[in-house]
Amino acid sequence: MTSKEHKKHADLKRPALGNFGRNEWAIVGAPCVYIKALADKVISALSPVYKCAYADTSHNDEVILAPGKLASGALLEYADMINHQQFNYAEPLRPVPFRQQFNGADLVLVNGNHQQAKSQVVIIYENKRASLQKRLEQLTNVELILLAENAEGVFDFIQGSLTNFQDIPVYRLEETDKIISFFRSKLEEARPALNGLVLAGGKSERMGFDKGAVNWFGKEQRYFMADMLKPLCNEVFISCREDQRQQIPANYNVLPDTFTGLGPFGAILSAFRNEPDKAWLVIACDLPLLELDTIQYLAGQRDVSKIATAFNSTHDQFPEPLITIWEPKSYPVLLAFLSQGYSCPRKVLINSDVKLLDVQNPDALTNVNTPDELEKVKRTIHQKIASA
C-alpha cells in the first residue's frame, strides 16, 4: 500500500533571484580598490538608464561599536542624510528581507572578496593568484574575465576549472568601453518578456450584465482585446473568476484569480504568482475605444527600470492602472501594499517609481460601466464607422 507524499507548502513559482537580485555579478580576484574602481565606472555609465546597486563589506576594521542609537539597544536607526537616506540595523537581515532591499535594482555589483553572487567577473591579478585559487568553488557562473596590468594571461587553474572557458569573453581591465558594453548587453538580454492580461473577472454589477461579453467589433470584447494584445506579447491570458473558466474557449489562455476578493489588484497578483519573472501588460476589458496604436505606444515607451509604465488619466491626471505594464519588480511592491491594507493598484502607482505617459488619443481610456455609458460609446463607434 502506498500513500501520497504529504506536501507542506504550496507549489509556487519563485522569481529567478540570486543573493541580491535578478542580475548580479560578484567581482573577484583583485584588491578591493580595483573592484571599487571598476564598479564605479560601470555604475556611472549605466545608471542614467538602469538602476544600479553595489554591495560590499566595511573595511574600517577599527570600528568595534555599533553606530548611534544601536549602541543603546535600538533595533533600527534611520537618518535623513540630506543627499541620501540611511538605515542602520542592529541584527543581520535574513535572506528574504535582505533581497527586498535590492528589489528596485536592475544591476547589482558585488565585491566578491567579501560577498558572493550567482554570476561572477574574474579579474586576473598576479598578486592575488593564491587567493583566487582558494575561491574556485565560488566561481559557479563566470561570465567575464579581465586581465589586470600585471597579468600576461588567464591562470591555468582558472582555465581548467571552467568547462565553458572558450566561450567567456576576456578583456583587459583598462578596456572600460568593452566592459560597460558587456553589462549593457547582459541587462538587455535580461529584459523581462511581456505577457498580456485581459481583466474580465469583474461582476459588472453597475452594468447589469457581463461587460466582457459585449460584442462591439464582431466578437465578445474580452476576446477582441486578447487578440489585439497577441502581436505585442509573449503570451496572452484572460483573467477571470474560477466559475467563469468553463465559459472561455480552449483557444484562449485562462488565468483564474488565486488572490480572490481583491478585484483587479488580485488579478495582477495572480498573474505574477503564475509567472513572477514576466512583465504583464494589463488591460481592462471595458475599454471599447482602445485601439492598437495606443497599446503599441505604451509598449514602445516601456521603461523596465521602473516598476510600471502607465498613462495619466485624462480626467484626473492620476495614473491609469488598468492599462499598464507592470514589471516583475512590482510584484513584491504590490504584496507590500497589500500587507499594509491597500488593494488599490492606482495607489501603488501614485506612491511608487513609475513612468507616466500622456495618452495620444484621450478617448482610448474611456471605460464603460453602466448602460448609459454603453449607449454613449455605441453612438461614438457608429459615428466613426460612418465617417470612415
Domains in the chain, ordered, with CATH? 24-56+80-189 (3.40.50.300), 194-387 (3.90.550.10)
pLDDT of 183 reads 98
Q: What is the band of 380 on the pLDDT scale with cuts at 50, 70, 90?
A: confident
pLDDT of 6 reads 57
Summary mean pLDDT of the chain: 90
**Is a pLDDT exceeding 90 seen at residue 366?**
no
Helices (H), the chain: 32-46, 95-100, 129-134, 156-161, 176-189, 221-229, 264-274, 292-300, 330-339, 345-350, 371-387
Q: Any idea which of 206-210, 221-225, 365-369 has the lowest mean pLDDT?
A: 206-210
**Is a pLDDT exceeding 80 seen at residue 7?**
no
Of 147-151, 177-181, 202-206, 372-376, which one has max mean pLDDT? Answer: 177-181
Q: Where are the beta strands (DSSP E) in 69-130?
A: 76-80, 85-89, 107-111, 119-124
Q: Residue range 125-151: average pLDDT?
A: 95
pTM of the model: 0.92
**Is a pLDDT exceeding 70 seen at residue 204?**
no
Q: How many helices (H) and strands (E) does the chain have?
A: 11, 15
**Is a pLDDT exceeding 90 seen at residue 238?**
yes
Exposure string over 20-59, b if 16+ CB within 10 A, otherwise e: bbbbbbbbbbbeeebbbebbeebbebbeeebbbbbbbeee
**Is a pLDDT exceeding 50 seen at residue 208?**
no
**Is a pLDDT exceeding 80 seen at residue 60?**
no
**Is a pLDDT exceeding 70 seen at residue 62?**
no
Alpha carbons 101 and 115: distance in angstroms, whole number: 16
pLDDT of 246 reads 85
